[in-house]
Chain A
Amino acid sequence: MSTGRAESVASRDVRERVGTARTILVRAVVGDRLGLVVFLGTLLAAGVTWRVGVFITDNYTLANALVALADGSLVVDEAVYGTLEAPGMNVHDGRLYGRNYGQVAFAVPLLWGLRAVTAVADLGLVFAAAWSLLLLAFAVQVGRITGRESICATAGAGLALASFAASAALAEPIPPRLLPLAALQLGTVLATALVATMVYRLLARVHDRRVGVTAAVASVFTTPVGFWAAIPKRHVTVTTLLVGVIYAFYRSRSADESADGPVPLLSPVGFRALAYALVGLYTWAHAGEAFAVFLALVAVDLPTAPSNDRRTLAVVGVAFGASLVPFFATNVAISGDPVRPPRMLSEFAVSTDGGAFGGAGGSGGGGNGGATSDGSPPLLPAPVRTLVTTVADRSGLIFGPFVAGAKSAVSDPESLYRTFVRAGYDGYIGARDNDQAINLSVLESAPVLAGVAALVATGGRRATAAVRRPDASVVGARLRRSVRTVRTSPTAATDAFVALVAVLFTLIYIPRLPLFAQVTVRYLLPVYVLAAYALARQSWLRRVLADHGRAALWSYLAGVLLGAQLIFVVVTAGSFGRGGAFQLHAVVGLVVGAAFAVSAVGSALDERFDSVTAVTGGLAAALGTDLALLSAFVYFRYGPHVLPSTDWLADLLASA
């Protein structure tokens, strides 16, 4: 009797602990229940577009590196997929290595998980089963949020069963050979869901939950993030890390506002350390980009932090140092030099223009010793001279890419225009695509970002207001006041950080763009999300969403449900081919984007334009979604969809 009672007490204790652990996990990963809904919804949508297969040859490198890493080796000596002569495969001491090891390492546990699951479930059906279970979970959570638990649970159960039955009826075998590739893709799909969740959490705190959810959906599904969601490249992974850095940065400034909410999991200092730790992890995926983020973070964080005392800096420094350990350890294991990532090694079998950051092919951080310039008279003693030249060399190496980017932006505005506004046909790029124009510009891939143009109007409006105000004569005082705002307001500091990251990130890549095999300027993928943040921060847009949310939503849905079909019919009936189809998206996107930009400027100045802005904004957003949807179903066919029913639909569309 008494033992039984003790057991029940113990089991209750265990249950409570599991419950607490679950609550903490949910709070840490998705924030709250609505965050969970955003997370699940994004997974469901990304699952629809997911094909297991190789999209571009770069994927071979990561997939082969994952197979090697799962076998416990950094050296890649077997081409399980395609060829080892793929872009991004690097050679050191005669041995081959992959790159982006952070992303590859993240996929290793996923691969183990998939291997365990496929021991008892058929690979051809396992994703469909998981998708249906996620749909069920999604419905249950939506039910809890809306207070209609019973009806949502019933509908969810029906839909989940129906989708699973359809999948089971249509399922085809997926070769087990594709498992590592699927693990990498699962990693990027999860990263996509985290991007949406992080954007939601950030903007739900900065503004409210409606803005949070809208921004989350917009940043993933109206920009090319959705396009790249299931393609095993680094871009979505690094976007997740960057949005994580921004979120942690914001929380490090704004902890004491949640008076009625639960106690935060981390203190402001903890969040500050987390921001740096995420940058450290970022280096493991792409050191060059991480460095730009680091510079921006330091430049905004140190001057605006509530305190820079020794203890705080020690905590931040230790966290950052610890987060760099995987990066250093990987580099040491490969080349022996902790600050020389695989990207700085020589590329195998491909010309060196494929390396990504700053053309650092041979000039990596390897200590060549003090290279003193001969010819100049020795004014300073040798050790100081060595120090000065080393600092100059190193800072040249560090700031070189940004300077080169700025120079290129000034000297070659046409490239800038072709990267951001109208890509059009480019002979150099077209030669690789049968003379088609498949690569889109930033605006063509995400027309909704045209709304950022309204920043000009809001800026102009503020400037005129400032000039009209009586105390405007004292410019210095105004400047000081805005500096104080950035220092005291968490939102202003975050805005500054986002703006600086966007600029530095763009500068790195400007000299190399436009470039082939970008499709949607994929190098700048994180910048799309930053631009979506910039849009969500506009007061006119939030007013439009609050007053005309319904119009915006219906325009978006019409643009997706009818627009995608219309584009499909035009492309199919007109025999446009892939290049023509992309140009159709480009031209329609630019026209609608321009309309949105004009009405957005109007809304920023006068609210009478709001209803028009809601409609143009909804349509512009829809065009981004259409591109991702039609690409997944129609334009690119490179492997089986994980969902048998969407695979069947894609086959049906192909025969149309």
Chain B
Amino acid sequence: MDRGRVLVYATAAVIVGVTVLSGPAIGLVDLTTPRYDMSGLGEGNATVDEVELPSSVAIDRGYQSQSYYLTVPDARIHLAAIDGKPTVAYGIDIPALGYSRSTTHFLSDGDTGWASLSLREDTLADDAVDADGYDGTLSLVLRDSGGKTVIANRTVPVEVNE
């Protein structure tokens, strides 16, 4: 047996071996753990000392499409101290459209400093948008052991670009 062949068989043995050893029949180790441990979410404490919210939000006509896309720029928060796994929800309300949406971000121990919070882009149908602009409200809500705290709230113009 030459070196290459030995390597091939050894590699196959390692892959099969690890898979079987970590499998349900033997269960020596559990390799399939959720990447984000959901336990204890929203518990702990965070001190936010600075917040930056975008000054405007855009609804753009889709490229070669009849639909509109709502794009909300990222918000930024500065975390002075953090402990446990508090969460921050970044949300937008556009009352005239009956539209409300938020994205929850998980923070974890040691995430101090500036953190960027995004809000996923969304699609709006053609007939949903009929004005040139709206008023929207951006909000950041911190959830920790002390309950929910609104750490920022701001009314921004929502510009519709055809």
Contacts and interface: CB of A to CB of B under 8 A. Distances in A.
Interface of A: 118-126, 129, 132-133, 136, 140, 143, 149-154, 156-157, 160-161, 164, 168, 170-174, 424-425, 427, 430, 433-437, 574-580, 583-584, 586-587, 648, 651, 655
B11 A125 contact: no
14 contacts: A125-B32, A129-B19, A140-B8, A153-B5, A154-B3, A157-B8, A171-B31, A425-B66, A430-B66, A575-B60, A579-B62, A579-B65, A579-B123, A580-B64
Interface in B19-60: 19-20, 22-26, 30-35, 60
A49 B92 CA distance: 33
A82 to B, nearest CB: 22
Contacts of A578: 123
Contact of A436 (B25, B31, B65, B127): B65
A164 B14 CA distance: 10
Given A136-B12, A577-B121, A170 B35 contact: yes
A123 B22 CA distance: 11
B62 A122 contact: no
B98 interface: no
B108 interface: no
Contacts of A170: 35
Contacts of B22: 121-122, 125, 168
A208 B161 CA distance: 55
B123 A434 contact: yes
A580 B64 CA distance: 6
Contact of A157 (B10, B24, B68, B121): B10
A575 B121 contact: yes
B7 interface: yes
B132 interface: no
A149 B4 contact: yes
B4 A121 contact: no
A143 B32 contact: no
B66 A435 contact: yes
Interface in B113-162: 118, 121, 123-127
A638 to B, nearest CB: 15
A173 B19 contact: no
Interface centre among B4, B7, B71, B125 (most CB of A within 10 A): B4
B67 A120 contact: no
A172 B121 contact: no
Contacts of A140: 8
Contacts of A576: 62-63, 69
A631 B64 CA distance: 18
B7 A435 contact: no
Given A120-B24, A161-B14, A435-B126, A577 B67 contact: yes
Contacts of A157: 4, 7-8, 10-11
A143 B11 contact: no
B64 A587 contact: yes
Contact of B71 (A151, A172, A174, A575): A575
A152 B34 CA distance: 35
A124 B32 contact: yes
Contacts of A150: 2-4
A438 to B, nearest CB: 9
Contacts of B3: 150, 154
Contact of B15 (A123, A153, A164): A164
Contacts of A583: 62-65
Contacts of A584: 63-64
B4 A153 contact: yes
A124 B32 CA distance: 6
B18 interface: yes
B11 A161 contact: yes
A579 B68 CA distance: 10
A157 B10 CA distance: 9
Contacts of A118: 23-24
B96 interface: no
A655 B64 contact: no
Interface residues of B, number: 43
A587 B63 CA distance: 10
Nearest to A430: B66
Contact of B18 (A164, A433, A586): A164
B123 A126 contact: no
A425 B64 CA distance: 7
B124 to A, nearest CB: 7
B33 to A, nearest CB: 7
A586 B64 contact: yes
Contacts of B80: none
Given A425-B66, A435-B67, 15 more contacts: A121-B24, A125-B22, A136-B12, A150-B4, A152-B4, A157-B4, A160-B11, A171-B31, A171-B33, A173-B33, A174-B32, A575-B60, A575-B121, A577-B67, A655-B118
Nearest to B124: A434
Contacts of A153: 4-5, 7-8
B19 A125 contact: yes
B5 A577 contact: no
Nearest to B72: A575
A648 B4 contact: no
Contacts of B24: 118-122
A228 B133 CA distance: 40
B81 interface: no
Nearest to B10: A157
A121 B23 CA distance: 4
A72 to B, nearest CB: 25
Contacts of B19: 121-122, 125-126, 129
B97 interface: no
Contacts of B67: 430, 433-436, 577, 579
A132 B11 CA distance: 9
A140 to B, nearest CB: 6
A156 B8 contact: yes
Contacts of A171: 31-33
A149 B10 CA distance: 16
B1 to A, nearest CB: 11
A366 to B, nearest CB: 43
Contacts of A121: 19-20, 22-24
A119 B25 contact: yes
Contact of B31 (A151, A161, A168, A575): A168
Nearest to A656: B118
A171 B2 CA distance: 33
Contacts of A574: 63
Contacts of A124: 31-32
A154 B115 CA distance: 43
Contacts of A143: 4
Contacts of A580: 62-65, 69
Nearest to B73: A575
B71 to A, nearest CB: 4
Given A157-B10, A577-B121, A129 B15 contact: yes
Nearest to A161: B11
A154 B6 CA distance: 9
Nearest to B127: A435
Contacts of B31: 122, 124-125, 168, 171
B119 to A, nearest CB: 12
A172 B125 contact: no
Given A122-B22, A136-B8, A156-B8, A424 B123 contact: no
B89 to A, nearest CB: 16
